């Protein structure tokens, strides 16, 4: 099996790479690339993302053919894809960080700044938060409800269809922190930084 982590200059993804390799061991080939042919031939794809919504979208668009290849992989061929942090946010139609930016449009919705209730809550939201699993998601197999995950973000994905939401977390309000739509999975939190429970989520995705 080949799992590709898309490397499109979206910030430091070394922790993502290390975590997937730790879980995969010798059983699964982990490829880190932006090579379109290798992505097409992958069994599963991971779309990480650090920084702003706009910078990540611009980086994706900066590699000729990459967005079309990801569309073909996830939408046309319906192969499993996992978005992490801004990787999840880019599933949206539109994001409002820095400026209005068009997303991938895979899951209708928008990405807006977290309401910090007049500075009552610090942004970015950094640290460990409990998640409330609201849907029987495949990547949450054997994950206990109210498990703690690690977050670093100031913006949140607000999907139009609430049925895609698989987990939420409470900060300044109820924030969507995981989605699942058919073969497309996403986490706002960082499983690669969430200790053994995060590694279990990565294992669940690899084993789909």
- Is the pLDDT reported for residue 4 higher than 80? yes
* pLDDT of the residue at 119: 85
Which residue range is the domain that position 163 belongs to?
Answer: 2-206
Q: Is 90 exceeded by the pLDDT of residue 10?
A: no
pLDDT of residue 185: 98
Domain count along the chain: 1
Does the pTM surpass 0.75? The reply is yes
Cβ contacts of residue 53 below 8 Å, gap of 6+?
Answer: 86, 89, 90, 95, 96, 97, 98, 101, 103, 111, 155
Active-site option among 56, 85, 156, 180: 85
> What pLDDT, on a 0 to 100 scale, did the predictor assign at position 25?
86
190 is an active site residue: yes
CATH of the domain at 64: 3.40.50.880
pLDDT tens digits, residue range 96-146? Answer: 999 999 999 999 999 999 998 888 899 999 999 999 999 999 999 999 999
Region 179-191 average pLDDT: 98
Q: Residue 84: is it exposed, middle or buried by C-beta count within 10 angstroms (0-12/13-18/19+)?
A: buried
- Which percentage of the chain shows pLDDT scores above 70? 100
- Which tens digit of pLDDT belongs to each residue from 25-62? 888 999 999 999 999 999 999 999 999 999 999 999 99
Instruction: Give how far Cα 73 sits from Cα of 82, 119, 188, 194, 200, Å.
Output: 12, 41, 21, 27, 24
Q: How many CA atoms lie within 13 A of 111 on its CB side?
A: 31
DSSP for 33-87, written as a single string:
E--HHHHHT-SEEEE---S-HHHHHHHHHTSTTHHHHHHIIIIIS---EEEETHH
The percentage of residues in the chain with a pLDDT greater than 90, rounded to a whole number, is 93
- The catalytically annotated residue of 97, 156, 192, 203 is 192
Q: Annotated catalytic, 56? A: no
85 catalytic per annotation: yes
């Amino acid at each position: 099996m080949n799992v590709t982590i898309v490397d499109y200059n979206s910030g430091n993804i070394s922790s993502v790479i290390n975590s997937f390799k730790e879980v995969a061991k010798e059983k699964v080939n982990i490829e880190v690339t932006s090579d379109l042919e290798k992505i097409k031939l992958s069994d599963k794809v991971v779309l990480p993302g650090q920084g702003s919504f706009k910078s990540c979208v611009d980086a994706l668009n900066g590699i000729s053919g990459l967005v079309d290849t990801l569309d073909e992989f996830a939408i046309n061929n319906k192969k499993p894809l996992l978005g992490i942090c801004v990787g999840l946010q880019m599933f949206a139609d539109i994001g409002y960080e820095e400026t209005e930016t068009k997303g991938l449009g895979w899951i209708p919705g928008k990405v807006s700044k977290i309401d910090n209730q007049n500075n009552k809550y610090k942004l970015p939201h950094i640290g460990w938060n409990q998640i409330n699993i609201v849907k029987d998601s495949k990547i949450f197999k054997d994950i206990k409800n109210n498990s703690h995950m690690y977050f670093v973000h100031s913006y949140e994905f607000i999907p139009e269809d609430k049925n895609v939401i698989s987990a939420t977390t409470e900060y300044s309000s109820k924030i969507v922190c995981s989605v699942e739509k058919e073969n497309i999975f996403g986490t706002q939190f960082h499983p690669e930084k969430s200790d053994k429970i995060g590694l279990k989520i990565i294992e669940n995705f690899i084993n789909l």
